Amino acid sequence: MCGIVGYVGDKTAVPLLVEGLKKLEYRGYDSAGVAVLDEGSLTVKKSVGKLAALESKLGDEMPQTTVGIGHTRWATHGRPSDRNSHPHTDCTGKIAVVHNGIIENYLELREWLSGQEHAFSSETDTEVLPHLVEEFYTGNLEEAVHRVLGMVKGSYAMVVLHQDEPDKLVAARKDSPLVVGLGDGEYFIASDIPALLNHTRKTYILNDGEVAVLTRQGVKITDSKGNVIPKQVFQVNWSAEAAEKGGYDHFMLKEIHEQPRALRETISSRLAADNTHVILREVGMTAEEINKIRNIRIVACGTASYAGMVGKNVIEKLARIPVEVDIASEFRYCDPLLTPETLVVIISQSGETADTLAALREAKKNGCRVLAVTNVVGSSVSREADDVIYTWAGPEIAVASTKAYITQLAAMYLLALYLGQVRGTVGQELAQELIAELKNIPGKVQRILDGAPLIRDLSQTFTDVEDAFFIGRGLDYAVSMEGSLKLKEISYIHAEAYAAGELKHGTLALIVDKVPVIALATQESLFEKTLSNIQEVRARDAKVIGMVFEGNNQMKKSADYVLYIPRTHQFLAPLLSVVPLQLLAYYVSLARGCDVDKPRNLAKSVTVE
Ligand code: M6R
């Protein structure tokens, strides 16, 4: 995830900026840069790779300036490169901007700016910002930034430096964090608290819509209309380690809580404002090529393959194309039946999983078109695939995948709707209903997160459990697979997922007194059937934890405990039903004293076969 640091004071800025950026390294990045005013003119140094590469570019003779901004970039729009690194500048080279988040309407703005004779030098969404500031600058940077904010859509934490106002930084935020550090005659700005802790623990936490102006004389905060607002000092009492986790006890919990934002960033620029269609510019296939697809093979490992199971279900329903889901380690050795009309969809958070990459190459060797869904721009998978849909979850640090999975699901819905609309297999009414509801999903995920204490209480009953079962039908079965993996990998409880109707073909023999059975029943069309399967395990004295939409009064008659999730279209239920399962796995792991973020025997990225 990108990191921002800015400084105004009386010390040499460059070492402070680099030191601050180092404190944000844990968040992951692929390039870095700084912009400072050197003898009155703006100097920008940036480099792909680690901070050491930037430091060697900066050399020993660093500018002695006392104002500057710095950035570590996690690529989204445009691959990792010197050119795409921040800070970005305008045509005059006087304005520098660092930015976290995504400017959703950047293509539109870029087109408009190009018409005003602005020349662009990167592929990023961010670069529109310095050009917009240039366009509106009439001697007052703060005013120009306010005008720019009125034009951009999306999420941002940004800091702007202008050569003509040399002792000033102007910063703004919406849906991406930004914190002001209050020193003695010196002021800092950063995307995350760890970057400030060596210098101050007194901060202002900026809220959405607020703009901060930092000078050596102090900090002024205004609202979106430019009215000055009073701000309370927030005294940070966290340790450096807790600060890295944003105050959460573990990266996994932090990442679970980042899901509303990750979803918003992944879907919002890809859904038409009037809900009529999905925009997937990154899929380069023509309508003719899409209409020629005879079958789809989704290939992935672990969690990513369970996202693929949801993908199979929704692509078959909406685009009416037969889909198979293959585990990558099997696919490459099973002599897969592939034709040029087979679309192979590769899902990989890291984009570096050895088996998944080998499967991609196998598909290419067979002449298939390969579409990748990955979270890492510039990863091997992204470089070798024909088309890439990026999930914009930001780096995932905990081994157990959470925000990457939910954004992979989002990508599956986008793809299914897109293929369905091109092939004419999805009705306009259904498409509009699903698109409108997709936009509501981040808020509904947030509501589930707000109810986390209830799930923490439930987790206490799992401390001495040895086995657990997850059951569901249709999409609920696909999510059960992921729920079961989450529980086993971080709590070491033996857990299995079954299609609810399959239990009585063998597994029912394992259902004995008090064995927890987590039964997902969000698929209303299958509800009665699932309820019958619940009765089967209840009759064997299982402890049933049911999951249904709010307003369902039937489950409580059959279950020992009911998890309620906000009501949504049943196609979209996985985006919500997985969240309580992630929280349950997290709290059970905690209650059992396991190493939540680094479970035994597992690695985040599996780059060996
Ligand atoms: O990076 P990838 O998505 O290719 O990783 C695939 C699996 O190793 C991964 O999803 C794994 O199952 C999860 N970390 C489990 O939570």
For the residues 468-479, what does the mean pLDDT come to?
A: 97
Tokens of 521: 């029943």
Establish whether residue 100 lines the binding site of ligand 1, counting it when its CB lies within 6 angstroms of any ligand atom: no
Establish whether residue 399 lines the binding site of ligand 1, counting it when its CB lies within 6 angstroms of any ligand atom: yes
Residue 602: is its pLDDT beyond 90? Answer: no
Q: What's the gap in Å between 19 CA and the centre of ligand 1?
A: 32
267, 305, 396, 418, 535 from 414: Cα distances, Å: 8, 17, 22, 6, 36
Residue 609: is its pLDDT beyond 90? Answer: no
Under the banding of pLDDT at 50, 70 and 90, the label for residue 1 is low
Residue of 250, 309, 401 with the most ligand 1 atoms within 8 Å of its CB, for mutation: 401
Task: Please tell me what DSSP assigns to residue 189.
Answer: E
The sign of the dihedral angle between the CA atoms of 269, 271, 276, 282 is: positive
Residue 242: is its pLDDT beyond 90? Answer: no
For the residues 133-162, what does the mean pLDDT come to?
A: 96
Kindly report the CA angle at 198 between 196 and 200, in degrees rounded to 5?
A: 60
Ramachandran region of residue 318, left (φ > 0), alpha (ψ -120 to 50) or beta? Answer: alpha
Task: Say whether 91 is catalytic.
Answer: no
For the residues 435-439, what does the mean pLDDT come to?
A: 98
Q: What's the gap in Å between 304 CA and the centre of ligand 1?
A: 6
Q: What's the gap in Å between 486 CA and the centre of ligand 1?
A: 11
106 Cβ contact list (under 8 Å, min separation 6): 77, 125, 126, 128, 154
Residue 605: is its pLDDT beyond 90? Answer: no
Instruction: Identify which has the larger pLDDT, 426 or 192.
Output: 426
Q: Which has the closest alpha carbon to 211: 162, 253, 159?
A: 159
**Measured from the CA of 604, which atom of ligand 1 is nearest?**
14
Q: What's the gap in Å between 378 CA and the centre of ligand 1?
A: 18
Q: What is the CATH number of domain 3-243?
A: 3.60.20.10
Task: Say whether 231 is catalytic.
Answer: no
CATH topology of domain 451-591: Rossmann fold (3.40.50)
Establish whether residue 402 lines the binding site of ligand 1, counting it when its CB lies within 6 angstroms of any ligand atom: no
Residues 261-299 have pLDDT tens digits of: 999 999 999 999 999 999 999 999 999 999 999 999 999
Mean pLDDT, the chain, whole residue set: 94
For the residues 416-434, what does the mean pLDDT come to?
A: 97
Q: Which has the closest alpha carbon to 131: 119, 143, 146, 149?
A: 119
Question: What is the spatial distance between Cα 333 and Cα 328, in angstroms, rounded to a whole number?
Answer: 9
Backbone phi, then psi, for 180, in 5-degree steps? Answer: -100, 130
Q: Which has the closest alpha carbon to 48: 71, 16, 19?
A: 71
Angle (deg, nearest 10), helices 428-450 and 574-591: 20
Instruction: Identify which has the larger pLDDT, 281 or 175.
Output: 281
Establish whether residue 356 lines the binding site of ligand 1, counting it when its CB lies within 6 angstroms of any ligand atom: yes
Angle (deg, nearest 10), helices 302-319 and 403-423: 20
Task: CATH number for 254-432: choose from 3.40.50.10490, 1.10.3720.10, 3.10.180.10, 1.10.150.20.
Answer: 3.40.50.10490
Q: What is the pLDDT of residue 42?
A: 93
Tokens of 519: 């039964």
Length in residues, the chain: 609
Backbone phi, then psi, for 14, in 5-degree steps? Answer: -55, -50
Residue 121: is its pLDDT beyond 90? Answer: yes
Residues of the chain with CATH 3.60.20.10: 3-243
Question: What is the spatial distance between Cα 188 and Cα 203, in angstroms, rounded to a whole number?
Answer: 9
Place of tokens 């390039």: 31
Establish whether residue 3 lines the binding site of ligand 1, counting it when its CB lies within 6 angstroms of any ligand atom: no
Strands (E), 367-431: 369-374, 387-390
Alpha carbon nearest to ligand 1 atom 4, residue: 348
For the residues 177-196, what does the mean pLDDT come to?
A: 93
Tokens of 178: 């930004």
Residue 61: is its pLDDT beyond 80? Answer: no
Q: What's the gap in Å between 302 CA and the centre of ligand 1?
A: 5
Residues of the chain with CATH 3.40.50.10490: 254-432, 451-591
CA 418 and chain centroid, separation: 21
Q: Which has the closest alpha carbon to 417: 404, 427, 408, 407?
A: 427
Establish whether residue 98 lines the binding site of ligand 1, counting it when its CB lies within 6 angstroms of any ligand atom: no
Residues 305-327 have pLDDT tens digits of: 999 999 999 999 999 999 999 99
For the residues 5-18, what does the mean pLDDT come to?
A: 95
Q: Which has the closest alpha carbon to 583: 446, 475, 413?
A: 446
Please count the other Cβ atoms lying within 10 Å of the Cβ belonging to residue 229: 11
Establish whether residue 379 lines the binding site of ligand 1, counting it when its CB lies within 6 angstroms of any ligand atom: no
Q: Which has the closest alpha carbon to 299: 255, 356, 353, 368?
A: 356
Q: What is the pLDDT of residue 576?
A: 98
Question: What is the spatial distance between Cα 552 and Cα 47, in angstroms, rounded to a whole number?
Answer: 55
Q: What's the gap in Å between 125 CA and the centre of ligand 1?
A: 28
Question: What is the spatial distance between Cα 167 and Cα 179, in angstroms, rounded to a whole number?
Answer: 19
Residue 355: is its pLDDT beyond 90? Answer: yes
Tokens of 426: 């999805």
Question: What is the spatial distance between Cα 456 and Cα 422, in angstroms, rounded to a whole number?
Answer: 44
Question: What is the spatial distance between Cα 378 and Cα 74, in angstroms, rounded to a whole number?
Answer: 10
Q: What is the pLDDT of residue 194?
A: 87
For the residues 429-440, what does the mean pLDDT come to?
A: 98
Question: What is the spatial distance between Cα 153 and Cα 60, in angstroms, rounded to a whole number?
Answer: 40
The sign of the dihedral angle between the CA atoms of 587, 588, 590, 594 is: negative
Establish whether residue 305 lines the binding site of ligand 1, counting it when its CB lies within 6 angstroms of any ligand atom: no
**End-to-end distance of the chain based on CA atoms, in angstroms?**
28
Backbone phi, then psi, for 96, in 5-degree steps? Answer: -125, 140
CB 173, CB 208: distance < 8 Å? yes
Residue type for position 412:
M
Q: How many helices (H) and strands (E) does the chain have?
A: 20, 24
Percent of the chain with pLDDT over 90: 83
Q: Which has the closest alpha carbon to 75: 458, 451, 391?
A: 391
Tokens of 64: 């002695």
Give the pairing type, strands 342-348 and 31-38.
unpaired
**Measured from the CA of 401, which atom of ligand 1 is nearest?**
16
The active-site residue, picked from 2, 245, 403, 444, is: 2
Q: What is the pLDDT of residue 236?
A: 86
Question: What is the spatial distance between Cα 591 and Cα 587, in angstroms, rounded to a whole number?
Answer: 6
Q: What is the pLDDT of residue 62?
A: 73
145, 306, 449 from 259: Cα distances, Å: 29, 17, 9
Q: What is the pLDDT of residue 38?
A: 80
Question: What is the spatial distance between Cα 550 and Cα 566, in angstroms, rounded to a whole number?
Answer: 5
Question: What is the spatial distance between Cα 261 and Cα 105, in angstroms, rounded to a whole number?
Answer: 17
**Measured from the CA of 405, which atom of ligand 1 is nearest?**
10
Residue 15: is its pLDDT beyond 70? Answer: yes
SS3 assignment, position 395: coil
Q: What is the pLDDT of residue 2?
A: 86
Question: What is the spatial distance between Cα 520 and Cα 545, in angstroms, rounded to a whole number?
Answer: 8
Residue 181: is its pLDDT beyond 90? Answer: yes
Q: What is the pLDDT of residue 513?
A: 87
Max Cα-Cα span within the chain:
81
Residue 477: is its pLDDT beyond 70? Answer: yes
The active-site residue, picked from 153, 317, 598, 604, is: 604
